[in-house]
Amino acid sequence: MEKRVALITGITGQDGSYLAEFLLEKGYEVHGIKRRASLFNTERVDHIYQDPHVKDPKFYLHYGDLTDSSNLTRILKETNPTEVYNLGAMSHVAVSFESPEYTADVDAIGTLRILEAMRFLGMEKSTRFYQASTSELYGLVQEIPQKETTPFYPRSPYAVAKLYAYWITVNYREAYGMYACNGILFNHESPRRGETFVTRKITRGLSNIAAGLEQCLYMGNMDSLRDWGHAKDYVRMQWMMLQQEQPEDYVIATGVQYSVRQFIEMSALELGISIRWEGHGVEEKGYVAAISGDKAPKAEIGQQIVAIDPRYFRPAEVETLLGDPTKAKEKLGWVPQISLGEMIKEMVAYDLEQAQKHALLKQQGYSVAVSKE
């Protein structure tokens, strides 16, 4: 079989780490671009790291950045990939309001830089390209549920930057005959999700409360509705999209929607805590209504464990997202295998274990800082 080589931008992120595992299992040689940081930033891929001194390694990391054209061109030339997965991005919607110009540089122009480098190197026909597009493109939704033909209406600097990346990918496909496609992915989560995205903030914050490390979880808009899947299911689909005869764009979603408040309730129940809500809007509060199960959380009945902090409201919100993955199911046979309940169980189990380790250290007199945002 022809040698299969993948280059992944954003390999140190949630999706990059799962995709790298998946491709290594399929026998690919995997190259990833990591940013230079003042501390180690490869925690999510450390378990698949291969010492470059071993014979015939299959996993390589290269220093690089989506803002650096010459760096990207050199890495592409040296690795000569058969598939490029552009997962690198400033991916936090709220932060994109704080750093809109940087977000545009990385998420929009970064995508152009890779496509243009591929063209410059004559890879239009030899290398396939995947772009990490997003349900945030739908923003102020024009149709429910959202599918491939639903009009876009981005609502943040992040989404506007990703709109450029979406269209430049379509444009290079049409203009130069490249095998380039967009996966329009709805929110997907896992224990490897960044701690400041809402699901992980909830499972981690509530686990810290259950372990007695924190008192209260401060939230933004809890009425927001999302279609949440598991990152493992979604990276499989990223690969499938590059294995077809024709390059096409696909919506990847579960087709089921929950509110942030429901996600809090389900995560709390997993920890043996049921919540009673009081008040409305910025006054809304969540109290411990009952404690059950064998996890014996340290929280007390009547303790306030959820509060609203308006700092977490966004200048423009995406209130509701619900995907229609029919095309992916019918054309590629893709169906998500991990349910929301199973995912919450996995995330809570992971975060509770971390919280209990910290609690134990604290008990032994070591100082433990729980970073929050």
Binding residues for ligand NDP, per CB under 6 A? Answer: 9-10, 12-16, 33, 35, 37, 41, 65-67, 87-91, 106, 132, 134, 185, 187-188, 194
- In the set 9, 79, 134, 169, the catalytic residue is 134
Minimum distance from CB of 35 to ligand NDP (Å)?
4
- Spatial distance between the Cα atoms of 275 and 264, rounded to a whole number of angstroms: 9
131 in contact with ligand GDR (CB under 6 A): no
Instruction: Rank residues 34 and 128 by Cβ distance to ligand NDP and give the closer one.
Output: 34
Among 280, 262, 258, 260, which residue's Cα sits nearest to residue 270? 262
CB 233 within 8 A of CB 240: no
Is 153 a known active-site residue? no
Question: Which residues, in sequence order, are CB contacts of 81 under 8 Å at separation 6+?
Answer: 5, 6, 7, 31, 127
Is 158 a known active-site residue? yes
312 in contact with ligand GDR (CB under 6 A): yes
Residue nearest to ligand NDP (CB): 13
CB 12 within 8 A of CB 44: yes
201 binds, among ligand NDP, ligand GDR, none (CB under 5 to 8 A by kind): ligand GDR
Among 188, 185, 66, 181, which residue's Cα sits nearest to residue 130? 181
| Of positions 31, 192, 201, 236, contacts ligand GDR by CB under 6 A | 201
Is 326 a known active-site residue? no
Residue located via tokens 């977000």: 103
Minimum distance from CB of 371 to ligand NDP (Å)?
15
Among 199, 200, 155, which residue's Cα sits nearest to residue 318? 155
Minimum distance from CB of 20 to ligand NDP (Å)?
11
Binding string, 218-257, against ligand GDR, x = CB under 6 A?
-xxxx-x-x-------------------------------
Q: Judged by CB under 6 A, how many residues of this single chain contact ligand GDR?
A: 23
Strands annotated E in the chain: 5-9, 29-34, 59-63, 83-86, 128-134, 180-185, 188-189, 217-219, 225-226, 229-230, 250-252, 258-259, 273-278, 285-291, 304-308
DSSP category for residue 327: H
Q: Compute CA distances 176 → 84, 122, 123, 336, 357, whole Å.
A: 16, 11, 10, 33, 54
| Of positions 123, 251, 260, 348, contacts ligand GDR by CB under 6 A | 260
- In the set 21, 83, 136, 189, the catalytic residue is 136
Instruction: Rank residues 162 and 358 by Cβ distance to ligand NDP and give the closer one.
Output: 162
**Footprint on residues 83-102 left by ligand GDR (CB under 6 A):** 91, 93-94
DSSP category for residue 252: E
Binding-site ranges for ligand GDR (CB under 6 A):
91, 93-94, 134-136, 186-187, 196-198, 201, 219-222, 224, 226, 260, 312, 314, 317-318
- The residues carrying an active-site annotation are 134, 136, 158
